[in-house]
Amino acid sequence: MPSPIGHMLSGLAIVAAHKKGVLRGDRETLLVLVCVVLPDIDFIFGFIEGNPNAYHHQFTHSFFFAVAAGFLLGVVSMRSCRHFLRPALLFTFAIALHIVLDLFAVDKSAPYGAQIFWPFSDDYFIAPIQIFSDVVRSSDSATFIFSLFNRHNLGTIIIETVIMLLVILFIKRLERK
C-alpha cells in the first residue's frame, strides 16, 4: 500500500484539480484529505486485538465503503455547499482513489490485495503491475508505530512524493492552459 504520505499527496492532487470546482473552503479541503486516508481506519480495529494488520484491506477498502462514506460525508458537508451530491461524489472519489492506489502497490502479506467488491464478494484483488512499494510495518500493536520509521519506508515515501508531485505539477500545468 502507499504510505499515508502518498495518500495525502493524492488528496492534494484532488484539491489541485478541484480548486475552483466543488471545494468551497478549508473544511471541504480537509474532508478530502481525511477521505484519502479513511480506508486505513481498519488498522484501529486490529489495534484492539493486538494486531493492527488483522483487518487491513478488508471492508474499508471496498467501493461499497467508498460510496457509503463519501455520501455520508457529503451530507455532513451540506451546511457549506448548496447541494450535497457534488461534494459526496468528490469524497467518494477520494476514498476510491485510496483503494485504487493500494491495488497498484506491492503486497507481501497474504491474502494479497483488497476486498474491493465487499459485501458482494470476499475475494481479494490486486493489479497485475505494481507502481508503489510496500510499507514495512509490525503486526504487534506495541511496536507498530515505531516500526514505520525505517529506511525502506523512507525510500517508499520519496518515490511516492516524486510521483504525486509530478501529477500535481501536471494538473497545475493543465490549469494554466
Mean pLDDT over each residue of the chain, to the nearest integer: 91
pLDDT tens figures, 140-160: 999 999 999 999 999 999 999
Q: Residue 59 pLDDT more than 70?
A: yes
Identify the weakest region by mean pLDDT among 28-32, 134-138, 165-169. Answer: 28-32
User: How confident is the model at residue 104, as a pLDDT?
Assistant: 95
User: How confident is the model at residue 78, as a pLDDT?
Assistant: 75
The whole-number average pLDDT for the span 156-171 is 93
pLDDT tens figures, 85-139: 888 999 999 999 999 999 999 999 889 999 999 999 999 999 999 999 999 999 9
User: How confident is the model at residue 24, as a pLDDT?
Assistant: 60
Q: How far apart are CA 88 and CA 75, in angstroms?
A: 7
Q: Which of 55, 173, 34 is nearest to 114 (CA)?
A: 55
71 close to 46: Cβ distance less than 8 angstroms: no
Query: Residue 25's CB: how many other CB atoms inside 10 A?
Result: 9
Q: How many residues does the chain have?
A: 177
| 137 Cβ neighbours under 8 A, 6+ residues apart | 52, 53, 144, 147, 148
Q: Which of 172, 177, 62 is nearest to 114 (CA)?
A: 62
129 close to 104: Cβ distance less than 8 angstroms: yes
Residue 80: pLDDT band with limits 50, 70, 90: low
User: How confident is the model at residue 1, as a pLDDT?
Assistant: 65
User: How confident is the model at residue 175, as a pLDDT?
Assistant: 78
Q: What is the four-CA torsion angle of 43, 30, 135, 61, rounded to 10 degrees?
A: 50
Q: Residue 45 pLDDT more than 80?
A: yes
The whole-number average pLDDT for the span 4-15 is 92
Paired with 132 in beta bridges are 105
- Residue 60, CA distances (Å) to 43, 64, 117, 139, 166 in order: 10, 8, 11, 19, 28
User: How confident is the model at residue 86, as a pLDDT?
Assistant: 84
Q: Residue 22 pLDDT more than 80?
A: no
